[in-house]
Chain A
Amino acid sequence: MRLRFLLSILLAWFAVEQASFGSAFSIRELGVRAQGMGGAFTAVADDASAIFFNPAGIAFQDGLQLEMDSLVVVGLFRFFPSITPPGTIVPEKGYHGSISPKFIPVGNLYLTKKINDRMTFGLGAFAPFGLAANFTNFNDGDPARGKYPGRFAGTRARLEVFWLQPTIAFKLSPNSSVAVGPAFIHTHLFYEQSILSPYDDGKTFGREVAEQLFPGQNPAEAARSIARLLPEGRFRLAGTANSAGVNLGYLYRHPGTHTNIGLSYRSGTAHHLKGKASFAFTDDSAIAPFLPESQTIEDLFPTQDAAGLFQTPATYNIGIANTALPGTTLAMDVTFQDYHRFRALPINFTQTSGTATPPERKIEFDFRNSVVVMAGIEKRMGEDMAVRAGFVFDHTPVPDKSTGPLFPDSSRFSLTLGASKRKGNTEFSVFYQAMNMVARTTNVTENNNQFTNGLYDNFVHLAGVGLRMYIGN
């Protein structure tokens, strides 16, 4: 009966849409107790979410535990462009990002079961990477003056990277453990951007047909004019990938000083996406009625199978925690992510003959490595209650040139607060995180034609609830 109940919860949890949010596209807030301490949990790792933070921690956990955490993100993203196309009317409060959905839920589930005194099994289902960017404030047929000017650098992106991670933790000694968690990774990526910008790719297209449309005119000048006569379009890529990864952990507890040291590693992954590329165009362009029936804009940009390669970074965590003060845990983590792996998103098209789709289109990002520093404190208030606080500094991996609608990112400082209340074998936890993203002004010459230079002024509220159950011995 109890097993059936657990399975039903498990299935219901997977049915929840895993829309995500990330710093760049990392999601660290995958444990409510942990996040109350700012996420400094690598050396604490004393609940089932250790499967994510440091799987070696489950070696010290007794019985059967089930933990479910849910996170809600409300992002207030504003962009004030420093340069706009002529005629653009910039909203007084800038352009909003992530208008829809307004609330982004992220769920994760962990289960641990002690097998014997030295070995513990765990299973985690979580999304360590995700993205839900949306700067679409317009319909394609709207006048250009009201459209978000950076739309040619991207309008929407949605990334969901699910890890299903069975884990085995092994006690090396009474105070140290290691763990390995091979993971099956399922990735879904949706990417959308406007295309045929009069200031950018439309000119490339214009050069191809300049001689035919405006014979005798200077080809470069004609190309610029033709670019303005083209229909505006949207390109969408939706693809999925299945791949493998691994999570490793080590935890050492020093009883004399009440100090823990934890190390963990999550592998980087190459996600080989397969899916569909599609295009849609406005029907108000001057040029469309004059194209031959055998070569319409739609014929030039056919919907087709496409492939892509998406890289997620490896994550290295090191943490230290101390419980020398009565009823108090102090913890600090440093996380390093080799985001330099994410240089580009190459997209390979399959219909390249007689069309305008090239064999490969590469969207450059050139991220840099990132470091996150987290510190937290937990104060237990008697047997059943604990309160937490934490601080996070997260150095953005997104360079100025890639700061835009998909990654309106900047380094951020966070304050977190959390609490837990235990009743019987059930513990209920909450946390709140105020994330102040440092206002960022970009001024990259090559982005002038994409109109993504300007001020990014963001603030994010995160809140989570978690339920932890201890079942059996």
Chain B
Amino acid sequence: MQTVYCRLKPRHPSRNLQLARVSALLVLFLLPAAPARAQVSFFDPTNFVVMGEGLAAGMADFGLRSVYQEKSFPAQMAQQMDVAFPQPLIQGGGIGSAPGFPSLPVRLPGPDQGAVRKDFPPQLFVFNLSVPGFRVSDALTRRPTPPLVQRNDELQSVTNLILGYPSLILKDKPLWTQAEYAQRMRPSLVLIELGYYDVLEAAATGDPSRLTSVENFRASYSDVLKAVRETDAALIVLTIPDPLDTAYFTPLDRASQNVLASAADLQALYNLRPDDLLTPNGLTAIALQLDANEIGPLPPGSVIGSDVAAQVRSRVGALNQVIQSLAQENGALVYDLHGLFARVRGSGLVVSDTRVLTRDYLGGFYSLNGYYPGATGHALIANEVLSLLNRTFGTSFPLIDLAQVAQDDPAVRFIPLKKPSSGELQ
């Protein structure tokens, strides 16, 4: 606005004063009161939708099944937030397979299964859209396709049973990708746990060529965030844990408690390097050989070399940088799941005076596959994310009693009892 100054003809002082008073009154009258604006957008977790892979799905041991799905960290979060959280609960032995372990032919329904999905009549929609085996790009491109069970394509069968049910058994119903599904659920809170499988499969199989490239990851992850941003939901993204921090990869010095042999003996007996990592298959094979006193070559997939480990670790770091930067661009909250796994690796998790969960294989934090946590580990993740929500949005969601969860956690039954040492996570 331009201010124009005019030279005024002198007036009688008292008349000027009167005019000034009248002008001031008019100005006060005509000017609308300065508005005091303070908009508050409340936090609403009502439609809490989760996009992820096996970790957020509740994959544990060697399949996805209801007993662990019901204890997945998103399910435990939803319970604390008092919101509905329909999940694609799977009957009996579950579906899917764990990378690094032998995969079986797709046979559904399997033993102890009827409709495979436990919820019958089924939930019309599910909010936990996580599909074990999903890479970030799958969230954008893989959609359910008939038939429901595809014997030669396990990932497609799992996708169908999670994202395509009941659409595939009805007629002419929409078949959404994970990202489309999330959009259609009009979420108010979206949690993204994608990327773990992009590194996990390569790490578990010792094949770095299966690592998702940084460029592809960036492009896909960016598109996922854009899709979610269109929903106006609050958005939380989780960084990718380093698979090497998990129980699937056991350093020689920690393997002794599993196989009852020192690191030096293991190096000598199996021609191992000091920084080699043993997989559960390797631990099992060594334990059996030592028990039978029949030392021989270890089966393929028993040992992960330090070169592969370095590539995996480097890629995890690069992908997490991508997540951090894209999250910032898209206004998403970031929870450092990578950091949590690293802390558990360093100091374990104290759940009570007499119970400490460690990152070791059969140490209680991880389930039998070694890289997906058990129920108590999921409860810890849930508490961490809930605390982040409470700090960020001023909510007061109650935290989960880890000791209580541990009492019924199958993964905890294997751990030895010991006193906590200082510095361990509470």
A24 to B54, CA, bound (A): 59
Residues 209-228 of chain A: 1 if any B CB is under 8 Å from the residue's CB, otherwise 0?
Answer: 00011111110011011011
- Is B233 among interface residues, defined by CB-CB distance under 8 A? yes
Which residues of the other chain, A, contact B86 by a CB distance below 8 angstroms?
Answer: 214, 217
B219 near A: Cβ within 8 Å?
no
Can you name the residue of chain B whose Cβ is closest to the Cβ of A225?
Answer: B84
The verdict on A228 contacting B47 (CB below 8 Å), with A80-B39, A86-B232, A455-B35 known, is: yes
The reply to whether A228 and B46 form a contact with Cβ atoms under 8 Å apart is: yes
CB of B406 to closest CB in A, whole Å: 25
B232 touches A87 (CB 8 A): yes
Q: Does B33 contact A (CB under 8 A)?
A: yes
Q: With CB as the reference atom, state the residue of chain B lying closest to A229.
A: B186
Check if B41 sits within 8 Å of A82, measured CB to CB.
no
- Cα–Cα, bound, A87→B43 (Å): 10
Contact B35 A286 (CB under 8 A): no
Given contacts A83-B40, A213-B123, A222-B84, whether A228 and B188 have CB atoms under 8 Å apart is: yes
**CB contact list, B176-225 vs A, under 8 A:** 184-186, 188
B114-130, CB under 8 A of A: which get 1 and which 0?
00000101011101000
Task: Determine whether the beta carbon of A286 is less than 8 Å from that of B186.
Answer: yes
Closest to B30 in A: A434
**B44 in the interface, Cβ–Cβ < 8 Å?**
yes
Is A217 within 8 A of B41, CB to CB? no
Q: Within the assembled complex, what's the spacing in Å between the Cα atoms of A216 and B121?
A: 10
Are B33 and A434 within 8 A (Cβ)?
Answer: no
Residues 39-53 of chain B, each 1 if its beta carbon lies under 8 Å from chain A, else 0:
111111011000000
Q: Which listed residue, B29, B37, B82, touches A221 by the CB 8 Å rule?
A: B82
Interface size range on A against B? 35 or more
Residues of B contacting A94 in the complex (Cβ-Cβ under 8 angstroms) = 35, 37
Is A457 touching B32 in the complex (CB atoms < 8 A)? yes
Asked if A85 and B173 make an inter-chain contact with CB atoms under 8 angstroms apart, the answer reads: no
Cα–Cα distance between A217 and B29 once the two chains are bound (Å):
57
The smallest C-beta distance from B185 to any residue of chain A, in angstroms, reads 6
> A123-147 CB contact bits vs B (8 Å, 1 = yes)?
0000000000000000000011100
Residue of B nearest to A89 (CB): B232
Instruction: Number of B interface residues at 8 Å Cβ cutoff, please give it.
Output: 39
A424 located at the interface, meaning its Cβ lies under 8 Å from any Cβ of chain B in the complex: no
- Any B CB within 8 A of the CB of A96: no
Query: For residue B183, which residue of chain A has the nearest CB?
Result: A286
Closest to B29 in A: A436
| Interface pair A289/B123, CB less than 8 Å apart | no
In the complex with contacts A229-B185, A434-B29, A455-B36 CB distance below 8 A: yes
Cβ of B310 within 8 Å of any chain A Cβ, yes or no, is no
Query: Is B111 interfacial (CB-CB < 8 Å)?
Result: no
Does any Cβ of B come within 8 Å of A184's Cβ? no
In Å, the complex CA distance between A145 and B38 comes to 17
Per DSSP, are chain A's interface residues mostly helix, strand or loop, or mixed?
mixed
> Does A78 make an interface contact (CB < 8 A)?
yes
Q: Is B112 part of the binding interface, using a Cβ–Cβ cutoff of 8 Å? A: no
Report the separation of the CA atoms of residues A229 and B185 in the bound assembly, to the nearest whole angstrom: 6
Which residues on A sit within 8 Å (CB–CB) of B35? Answer: 78, 80, 94, 439, 455, 457
The answer to whether A221 and B84 have CB atoms under 8 Å apart is yes
Indicate whether A365 reaches chain B with its CB closer than 8 angstroms: no
Residue in B36, B44, B85, B173 whose CB lies within 8 Å of A290: B173
Q: Is B329 an interface residue (CB 8 A)?
A: no
Chain B contacts of A457 at CB under 8 A?
32-33, 35
Known A-B contacts A213-B124, A215-B123; A439 and B33 likewise in contact (beta carbons under 8 Å): yes
B331 to chain A, nearest CB (A): 10
Do A229 and B30 touch across chains, with their CB atoms under 8 A apart? no
Which of A84, A225, A415 is the one whose CB lies under 8 Å from B46? A225
Of B32, B174, B186, the most chain A CB neighbours within 10 A belong to B186
A88 close to chain B: CB less than 8 A: yes
Which residues of chain B are within 8 angstroms of A441 by Cβ–Cβ distance?
A: 36
Let me know if B290 is at the binding interface, CB within 8 A.
no
**B36 cross-chain contacts in A, Cβ below 8 A:** 441, 455
Residues in A51-69 with C-beta less than 8 Å from chain B: none
Chain B nearest Cβ from A30, distance in angstroms: 24
Q: Mark A433-450, 1 if CB is under 8 A from B, else 0.
A: 010101101000000000
Q: Does A90 contact B (CB under 8 A)?
A: yes
The answer to whether residues A413 and B173 also contact, given A90-B39, A214-B124 and a CB cut-off of 8 A, is no
- A459 interface contact, C-beta 8 A: yes
B38 and A143: CB pair below 8 A?
A: no
Q: Which A residue sits closest to B181, measured CB to CB? A: A286
Q: Distance (Å) between the CB of A321 and the closest chain B CB? A: 25
A409-437: which have CB < 8 Å to B?
413, 415, 434, 436
B26, closest chain A residue (CB): A415
Shortest C-beta distance, A410 to chain B (Å), equals 11
* B47 close to A83 (CB less than 8 A): no
Contact indicator B30/A215 (Cβ below 8 Å): no
B186 contacts across to A, CB distance below 8 A: 198, 228-229, 286
* A313 CB-CB contact with B under 8 Å: no
A85 touches B44 (CB 8 A): yes
CB of A81 within 8 Å of the partner chain = yes
Q: For residue B42, which residues in chain A have a CB less than 8 angstroms away from its CB? A: 83, 85-86
Smallest CB separation, A111 vs chain B (Å): 37
CA distance A145 to B39 in the complex (A): 14
Q: List 25 A-B contacts (CB under 8 A).
A: A76-B32, A83-B42, A86-B188, A86-B232, A88-B41, A94-B37, A143-B232, A144-B232, A198-B186, A213-B125, A214-B124, A217-B85, A218-B84, A221-B84, A224-B84, A228-B47, A228-B185, A228-B188, A229-B185, A286-B185, A434-B30, A436-B32, A457-B35, A459-B30, A459-B32
Given contacts A88-B41, A228-B188, 4 further A-B contacts (CB under 8 A): A82-B38, A212-B124, A229-B125, A229-B186
Report B's interface with A, CB cutoff 8 A: 29-30, 32-33, 35-44, 46-47, 82-86, 119, 121, 123-125, 127, 170, 173-174, 184-186, 188, 230-234
